[in-house]
């Protein structure tokens, strides 16, 4: 399988490394041709407003929306979760997303004073250390969405069809559980 990581801003290199560690051919995606060539896409952590702005500048905004709609398997971490949400609370004025997940995310949900922290969470039945950096949480979700992990009584990992999203950054640890879940449970069924 060929995995693409959107490489406009944020920690795309860490996702490339995690994807390679799972045994997949992995490329940085900055053009529509590169997007067309991949079987799965990862949206990294970073700054969601910057990433969506650059996606529009690079003419990738509509093509990414279209491929998600067609069922391309997509995983987003942190800013990537925001980019996959249909609705945002505390977004920048007019902030757009690619959408696809029938959720409302709250940006910087854990409070400004809590810039970053680590927490043990239960992800899909397995305990793992999760790194949160100015992280969102899921404020509201429809019945189409399955919750895979919670923290502070809010969903921080969810899936819906071809899409997985986490508020935290598994790419910043050596734990490959979330990437493996995405590749093995979501991608292989597509
Ligand atoms: N708060 C950032 C945003 O709104 C996300 C932070 C992150 O990806 N670590 O995009």
Total domain count, the chain: 1
Query: Ligand 1, residues 134, 156, 173: which to mutate, most atoms within 8 A of Cβ?
Result: 134
111 pLDDT band, cuts 50/70/90, is: confident
CB-CB contact of 186 with 179 (8 Å): no
169 classed as catalytic = yes
Q: Which two tokens stand for residue 76?
A: 């987003």
Instruction: Provide, rounded to the nearest whole percent, the portion of the chain with pLDDT above 90.
Output: 94
3-state DSSP call for residue 184?
helix
Q: For residue 112, what pLDDT is reported? A: 65
15 classed as catalytic = no
Q: Which two tokens stand for residue 127?
A: 């305990």
**CB contact set of 79 (below 8 Å; sequence gap of 6+):** 10, 43, 44, 45, 46, 47, 48, 51
Residue 64: which domain range? 2-186
Identified catalytic residue from 14, 15, 24, 78 = 78
The whole-angstrom separation of Cα 101 and Cα 39 is 19
Half-sphere exposure (CA, 13 Å, Cβ side) for 18?
A: 26
Which pLDDT tens digit goes with each residue over 23-38? 999 999 999 999 999 9
Nearest to 166 by CA among 128, 115, 112, 114: 128
Q: For residue 114, what pLDDT is reported? A: 67
Lowest mean pLDDT across 4-18, 109-123, 143-157, 162-176 = 109-123
- CATH code where residue 14 lies: 3.40.50.880
The whole-angstrom separation of Cα 26 and Cα 38 is 9
Position 113 pLDDT exceeds 70: no
Q: What secondary structure letter does DSSP report for 8?
A: S
In the reported structure, the alpha carbon of residue 79 is separated from the centroid of ligand 1 by a whole-number distance in angstroms of 4
189 pLDDT band, cuts 50/70/90, is: confident
22 classed as catalytic = no
Instruction: Provide, rounded to the nearest whole percent, the portion of the chain with pLDDT above 70.
Output: 98
More confident residue, 144 or 125: 144
The whole-angstrom separation of Cα 62 and Cα 10 is 20
**Mean confidence (pLDDT) of the chain:** 96
Nearest to 40 by CA among 172, 164, 174: 164
């Amino acid at each position: 399988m060929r995995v693409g990581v959107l490489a406009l801003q944020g920690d795309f290199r860490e996702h490339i490394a995690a994807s390679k560690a799972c045994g997949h051919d992995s490329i940085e995606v900055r053009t529509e041709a590169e997007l067309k060539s991949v079987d799965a896409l990862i949206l990294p952590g970073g700054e969601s407003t910057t990433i969506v702005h650059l996606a529009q500048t690079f003419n990738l905004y509509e093509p990414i929306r279209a491929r998600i709609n067609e069922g391309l398997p997509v995983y987003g971490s942190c800013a990537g979760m925001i980019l996959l949400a249909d609705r945002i609370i505390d977004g920048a004025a007019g902030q757009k997303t690619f959408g696809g997940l029938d959720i409302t995310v709250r940006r910087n949900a854990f409070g400004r004073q809590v810039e970053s922290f680590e927490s043990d969470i239960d992800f899909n039945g397995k305990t793992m250390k999760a790194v949160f950096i100015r992280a969102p949480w899921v404020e509201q979700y429809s019945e189409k969405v399955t919750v895979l992990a919670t923290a502070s009584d809010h969903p921080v990992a969810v899936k819906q069809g071809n899409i997985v999203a986490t508020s935290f950054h598994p790419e910043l640890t050596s734990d490959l559980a979330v990437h493996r879940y995405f590749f093995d449970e979501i991608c292989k069924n597509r």
